[in-house]
Amino acid sequence: MGNIDFSLVDWSRAQFALTAMYHWIFVPLTLGLSFILAIMESIYVKTGNPEWKNTTKFWMTIFGINFAIGVATGIILEFEFGTNWSNYSWFVGDIFGAPLAIEGIMAFFMESTFIAVMFFGWNKVSKKFHLVATWLVAIGSNLSALWILIANGWMQSPSGTKFNPDTARNEMIDFWEILFSPIGINKFLHTITSAYVLASIVVIGISSYYLLKNRHSLFAKKSIIVAAVFGLLASFYLIATGDGSAKQVAKYQPMKLAVMEGLYEGSEGAPLQAIGVIVDAPTEKNPNQKEVKMNIALPGGLSFLSFGDFNAFVPGINDLLYGNPKYGIEPYNEKIAKGRLAIDALKNYSLAKKAGNKEEAKQHLAVLNANYKYFGYGYYDGRSVQELVPDVPLIFYSFHIMVGLGSYFVVFFILMLFLTMKNKIEDNRLILMLAVLTTPLAYIAQQTGWIVAEVGRQPWVIQDLMPTIAAVSQISSTNVMITFGLFLLVFTALLIAELKIIFSQIKKGPETHSGNH
């Protein structure tokens, strides 16, 4: 496929990953805290108790600090599609742009309009109107996530589009198929519920700090009860959407599933790894093969998780790379050959059409259409199929850390709710310290989840249609390295600034007077 500047590809990926991971430090707290605020203010309006107003206003301040930084990193993220990934931006046509445009016009407009009322309207509008504004901010924040995750879901499993050979762009033919694609909807539900879990843990962690310091005890216990109930309900739904995600991955991204479990040789009744260590175990067939050692596994668990059947066949990495005729799995080298046919057919179609040879153009178009679903594999013609396997240890460990922490959070919420409701939480300083230490674990769970989702589908930018090596802009890798360094400094400074402001606000604590409304 010609000369590929892998330095450019790697640095472009690193820069985008840096921006996305920093952005995702701020977003989940915004998404989850917005609904916690709305719930707390609803209790205030219902009861008229000024303590709930003070509680709402404190968490609203934390929300506002976090929201501002999240917007800044999100804008940079969207610019990078044009600067670093212009080939991708061209190839997706109006598919990726449409959801982002809707997000900007509808959801972000809705957020920014009512956020002013939410912050500055306490003494200027009625209680009920202010409550409506707070709920609309929460809904608007989550609608922003919907459109972005619908676009991301399309990249994971393209649908509702048609490739236009005259423009070499994918064009939307069914907006509703894109909007309601199972993988997109499931990704949205799983992502926002994980954000609710994180925000609940942050609220509990900060509240536990106050209890450790014997400050604002009533405020802290009220906050813990709301957050623990909200987080527990979100955790149960998170497990359900996680199950749905596993089934979607098994259907549309079988390589990602195999890598998540370190499964090289597929089998019926494939086990689900609970704990394990990845070690090198090269074979003649696969020199890069790893092996899960010292493992605890649930027999048939992966088969059931993937297909709802303990005896279902789950393909492994080697099955997908080298084929498995018994189960109708096509080897990657055949997909690469068909992808090469599609790429050549597109080129020849354009030449024939330019020359005015309609019949020849028609023949090339037929070849393109017959092989288009393998288009992206063609870029690996003459390359090792091993390049089409994601980083196995990184994905394996990230997946199991995410699942392990998610399971722990369920127990954590139940424990915090039980102790607080029984009025025993202040007597358990070890539990309060654990709650404070659990806060960074929630962020680790978020980041590992995105590593599984995004690194796990490498090398694809658009599943099966466009790999990263074809998606990057033709710019100097030096420029990307420089901007990577600049972004690292800026984002780190923003994170430090946010933490200092938030810690200062925590040290100050909530208001102890009710004020007027």
| pLDDT tens column, 192-250 | 999 999 999 999 999 999 999 999 999 999 999 999 999 999 999 999 999 999 999 99
Q: What is the pLDDT of residue 515?
A: 43
What the block records as the tokens of 270 is 């494939």
Q: What is the pLDDT of residue 95?
A: 80
* Own/partner pairs, 108-111, CB within 8 angstroms, 24+ separation: 108/140, 108/144, 109/140, 110/136, 110/139, 110/140, 110/143, 111/137, 111/140, 111/141, 111/144
Give the single-character DSSP code of 162.
E
Total H helices, total E strands in the chain = 18, 8
Query: Which residue from 29, 28, 31, 24 is spatially nearest to 137, judged by alpha carbons?
Result: 31
> pLDDT category, 512, cuts 50, 70, 90?
low
Backbone angles phi, psi at 256, to 5 degrees: -60, -45
Q: pLDDT tens across 470-486, in order?
A: 999 988 899 999 999 99
Q: pLDDT tens across 34-71, in order?
A: 999 999 999 999 999 999 999 999 999 999 988 878 87
Other CB atoms within 10 A of residue 324 CB: 17
Give the single-character DSSP code of 26.
H
Q: What is the pLDDT of residue 517?
A: 41
CB-CB contact of 359 with 349 (8 Å):
no
DSSP code string of 56-118: HHHHHHHHHHHHHHHHHHHHHHHHHHHHT-HHHHHHTTHHHHHHHHHIIIIIHHHHHHHHHHH
The residue extents of the domains of the chain are 258-327, 334-386
Q: What is the pLDDT of residue 284?
A: 84
